[in-house]
Chains A and B, each alone.
Chain A
Amino acid sequence: MKRTPAHRLRGAGESGTLLLVLFLLPAMVVTFGLIVVPLADSFWTSLHRLNLTAADRPFVGFGNYVEAIRDAGFRQALARTLYFTVVSTLLELVLGLAVALLLNQDFRGRGLLRALVLIPWALPTMVNGMMWRWIYHPQYGALNALLTQTGLLDSYRNWLGSPALAMNMVILADVWKMTPLVAIILLANLQTIPGELLEAASIDGAGAWQRFWHVTLPWLRPGILIVLVLRTMEAFKVFDIIYIMTRGGPANGTQTVAYYAYTEAFSSLQFGRGAALSFLIALAVGLMAVLYFRLLGEEGAGA
Chain B
Amino acid sequence: MKRTLTAVLLSAAVLSLAACGGKKEAAPPAGAPQASAPAAGAGGTRETVTLRMLAMKQAAYSDASVQAMVKKFEEKNPGIKVDVTFVPYEALHDKIVTDQASGAGEFDVVLVDEIWPAEFAAAGFIRDLSDRLTPEMKEGIVPAVARILEVNGKTYGIPWILDTKFLFYNKDMLAKAGFSAPPKTWDELLEQARAIKQKGIVEYPIIWSWGQAEAVICDYTPLVYSWGGEILAPDGSPRFQSGPALEAVKWMVKTLDEKLTNPNSTSALEEDVRQVFSQGQAAFALNWTYMYALANDPKESKVAGQVGIAPFPAGPAGAYGVSGSMGLSITKSSKHPDEAWKLIEFLTSFENQKEYASESLPIWKKAFDNPDQIKAPRELVEAAKTQFASIRGRPEFVPWYNNFSLKAQVALQNILLKQKTPEAALSELAGQVESLRKS
Binding site for B on A (CB under 8 A): 1, 4-7, 23-27, 29-30, 49, 51-54, 138-139, 158, 160-163, 247-252, 263, 266-271
Docked-complex contact B417 and A251, CB < 8 angstroms: yes
User: What's the nearest-Cβ distance from chain B to residue A74, in Å?
Assistant: 13
Cβ contacts A to B, 28 pairs, < 8 Å: A4-B6, A5-B3, A6-B5, A6-B6, A24-B13, A27-B12, A27-B16, A30-B19, A49-B439, A52-B101, A52-B122, A138-B264, A139-B275, A139-B279, A158-B264, A161-B263, A161-B267, A162-B417, A248-B212, A249-B211, A249-B213, A250-B267, A267-B94, A267-B406, A268-B402, A269-B123, A269-B402, A270-B403
Docked-complex contact A27 and B13, CB < 8 angstroms: yes
Docked-complex contact A158 and B267, CB < 8 angstroms: yes
CB neighbours of B317 from chain A (8 A): none
CB neighbours of B276 from chain A (8 A): 139
Docked-complex contact B94 and A266, CB < 8 angstroms: yes
Binding site for A on B (CB under 8 A): 1-3, 5-6, 9-10, 12-14, 16-17, 19-20, 90, 93-94, 97-98, 101, 119, 122-123, 211-213, 263-264, 266-267, 275-276, 279, 281, 399-400, 402-403, 406, 409-410, 413-414, 417, 419, 439
- Give the docked Cα–Cα distance between A161 and B10 (Å): 54
CB neighbours of A270 from chain B (8 A): 403, 439
Docked-complex contact B19 and A23, CB < 8 angstroms: no
- Give the docked Cα–Cα distance between A160 and B263 (Å): 12
Chain A residue, CB-CB nearest to B10: A23
Docked-complex contact B123 and A53, CB < 8 angstroms: yes
- Give the docked Cα–Cα distance between A7 and B97 (Å): 52
Of B213, B267, B414, most A-chain CB atoms within 10 Å: B267
CB neighbours of A27 from chain B (8 A): 9, 12-13, 16
User: What's the nearest-Cβ distance from chain A to residue B205, in Å?
Assistant: 15
- Give the docked Cα–Cα distance between A249 and B212 (Å): 6
Q: A163-B419, A269-B123 are in contact. Are A250 and B101 (CB under 8 A)?
A: no
- Smallest CB-CB A-B distances: 4 pairs: A249-B212, A251-B413, A53-B122, A268-B403
CB neighbours of B279 from chain A (8 A): 139
- Give the docked Cα–Cα distance between A51 and B400 (Å): 10
User: What's the nearest-Cβ distance from chain B to residue A144, in Å?
Assistant: 11
Chain A residue, CB-CB nearest to B415: A251
- Give the docked Cα–Cα distance between A250 and B123 (Å): 30
Of A4, A26, A29, A139, most B-chain CB atoms within 10 Å: A26
Q: A24-B9, A247-B213 are in contact. Are A267 and B3 (CB under 8 A)?
A: no
Contact partner of B211 (CB less than 8 A), chosen from A5, A53, A250, A252, is A250
Docked-complex contact A6 and B2, CB < 8 angstroms: yes
- Give the docked Cα–Cα distance between A163 and B419 (Å): 9
- Give the docked Cα–Cα distance between A271 and B122 (Å): 15
CB neighbours of A247 from chain B (8 A): 90, 212-213
- Give the docked Cα–Cα distance between A269 and B102 (Å): 12
CB neighbours of A268 from chain B (8 A): 400, 402-403, 406
Q: A23-B9, A252-B212 are in contact. Are A163 and B267 (CB under 8 A)?
A: no
Docked-complex contact B16 and A30, CB < 8 angstroms: yes
Chain A residue, CB-CB nearest to B14: A26
Contact partner of A266 (CB less than 8 A), chosen from B97, B267, B419, is B97
Docked-complex contact B413 and A269, CB < 8 angstroms: no
Docked-complex contact A250 and B402, CB < 8 angstroms: no
Chain A residue, CB-CB nearest to B90: A247
- Give the docked Cα–Cα distance between A30 and B403 (Å): 36
Docked-complex contact B263 and A269, CB < 8 angstroms: no
User: What's the nearest-Cβ distance from chain A to residue B378, in Å?
Assistant: 32
Chain A residue, CB-CB nearest to B269: A247
Of A49, A263, A269, most B-chain CB atoms within 10 Å: A269
CB neighbours of B263 from chain A (8 A): 158, 161
